[in-house]
Amino acid sequence: MTTLPLFFAPPDPSDATGRMPPEGRGERIGERVAAAARQIAAAGNPATARLDAQVLLAHLLGVERSWLFACPELRLTPEQLVQYSALIARRCRHEPVAYLTGYRDFYGLTLAVDSRVLIPRPETELLVEQVLHAATQAAPGSVTVADVGTGSGAIAVAVATHAPNTFLYALDNSRAALAVAHHNVAQLRLEARVRLVASDLLASLPVLADIVVANLPYVTSTDYLQLDRDVRDYEPPQALVAGPAGLDLIERLLTQLPAHCRAGCLVALEIGYNQGKAVQALVHSSLPGATQFVLRQDYQGHDRIVTFRL
């Protein structure tokens, strides 16, 4: 897997206002987007083909996507056509749009991502909401949060941004992932409230936590083989797969919790679409004193978030 450079810069909306990319003598914007969308659809991504084509061209030109709708007759320069064709070719090979642009929006923030980290999903915003709710209830008191398996730092920076009474330890055993998280923490100027720690789950957490939040790998070895090519061929497998039942990392985390949590600690976990009963059984067997176990579904009605207290 090729590691992308740090980082493509996301377009600045303020720059897009009134700014026109140089017009060339090549294909018109509207025609080229339509042709690109047909290419992407033919390669196996029909549901998102037109959106993908628009997002990639807007990224290349450094404009908002809405700008493309206003200027369909403008022509791309030969250089822009070559660059755009290269992006479309990569998308046709199922490389995720987020890796092509170098960023992904998550909980109102624009985060840098590349192939060293999992691309943040909308479902994970539900996990952020659980942590923010608990932090709000504890305000104005300070809350120590451990974000286990932080990856790009998406959860940590979202919580830090929206809950000023929190201090976060963002833990990951991948130093490559921590480099991406460091960039996002620095870009959002959260260095004073988010500390990055190389750690095997909670093992190196230097304090006791009031909240533990974790979006750990939970895909089964069998399900991994059935994932879309966008995911299976490009996203880091170590951030996805967790053994035959998809529970290897979650089970290990549960055994670490008592030594790293304050009394009453909230634990919030993202889980697989059908793992609710299995995780509940693991919690009850590993942590018989756990209380307030709640299983929540995602937008599609699948098991997704588990919370409980120690």
Which is nearest to 268 in space by CA: 240, 236, 310, 301? 310
Provide the residue type at 33 as one letter. Answer: V
Per-residue confidence (pLDDT) for residue 155, from 0 to 100: 98
Neighbours of 59 (CB within 10 A): 21
Q: What is the pLDDT of residues 192-251, one digit of tens each?
A: 999 999 999 999 999 999 999 999 999 999 999 999 999 999 999 999 999 999 999 999
Which H or E run contains 293?
strand 291-297
Residue 101 and residue 51: Cα distance in Å, rounded? 13
Average pLDDT of span 1-9? 38
Q: How far apart, in Å, are the Cα atoms of 143 and each of 29, 156, 208, 251, 290?
A: 50, 13, 11, 25, 20
Q: For residues 188, 172, 162 and 144, what is the CA-based torsion angle, rounded to 10 degrees?
A: -120
Q: Give pLDDT tens digits for 126-138.
A: 999 999 999 999 9
Task: Indicate the pLDDT class of residue 66, thresholds 50, 70 and 90.
Answer: confident
Alpha-carbon gap, residue 270 to 268, rounded angstroms: 7
pLDDT tens, 93-117? 999 999 999 999 999 999 999 999 9
Helix residue spans in 106-210 (DSSP H): 124-138, 154-162, 175-187
**Per-residue tokens: 12:** 């600045």
Rounded to whole angstroms, how far apart are CA atoms 138 and 160? Answer: 14
pLDDT given for residue 16 in this prediction: 40
Q: Give the Cβ contact number of residue 141 at 10 Å.
A: 9
Asked if residue 253 lies in contact with residue 216, where contact means CB atoms within 8 angstroms, the answer is yes
Please write the tens of the pLDDT for every residue from 250-282: 999 999 999 999 999 999 999 999 999 999 999
Mean pLDDT calculated for residue range 284-296: 95
Amino acid at 35: A
**Does residue 187 contact residue 241 with C-beta atoms inside 8 Å?**
no
User: Sorting pLDDT into bands at 50, 70 and 90, what band is 25?
Assistant: low
Q: Is the pTM of this model over 0.85?
A: yes
Is 195 exposed, middle or buried (CB count within 10 Å of its CB: 0-12, 13-18, 19+)? middle
- Supply 165's token pair: 């009474």
Pick the closest to residue 215 from 181, 190, 166, 192 (CA basis).
Answer: 181
Inform me whether the pLDDT recorded for 143 exceeds 80. yes
Beta strands in 140-260 (DSSP E): 143-148, 166-172, 194-198, 209-214
Number of residues that this document lists for the chain: 310
